[in-house]
Amino acid sequence: MSNLLPEEAEEKLVTVCRTAVGDSLRSLTYFNRFDYVQVYIREDLEQEADLNSFIGNEWHDFKMTQDAYRGSELGDYEYTIRVFENGYLVRITVEDFGVFVTTDGISMQDFEALAAATTEILDEWAIEE
């Protein structure tokens, strides 16, 4: 059990992600600049994956992306989708924290629903801080 997120917050994140993508949800990790907690991992996946390098890369990449595109005609950064041989990684970040969610193949509409619902929760938490 991690002290990074209260148990009810972890449960809320899992519920929101499962509602958006159903059984296609592979894993869910909450992270901030200093720490992370794997909130959910599907039973059929390796349970002992080392996430340190993922977190470092996702945090660094988020900051670079946010800075690089600030003020562009594309508008504000919303989320990132990375495509891999065995699934997808979606990074959704607000303020100084965020989540990355891994999924099986889902539609663009599912990605958008996942990002919208998760961003809503993260925005609420950012206001509370």
In angstroms, rounded to a whole number, what is the distance separating the alpha carbons of residues 100 and 28?
Answer: 6
| Distant-in-sequence, close-in-space partners of 122: CB < 8 Å, separation ≥ 6 | 92, 93, 94, 95, 97, 98, 99
Per-residue pLDDT tens for 41-72? Answer: 999 887 666 676 777 666 666 667 767 777 78
How do the domains of the chain map onto residue ranges?
A: 7-127
CATH for 7-127, among 3.40.50.720, 3.40.50.1000, 3.30.750.80, 3.30.450.30? 3.30.450.30
For residue 3, name the pLDDT band (cuts at 50, 70, 90).
Answer: confident
One-letter amino acid for residue 40 of the chain: Y
pLDDT of residue 1: 45
One-letter amino acid for residue 120 of the chain: E
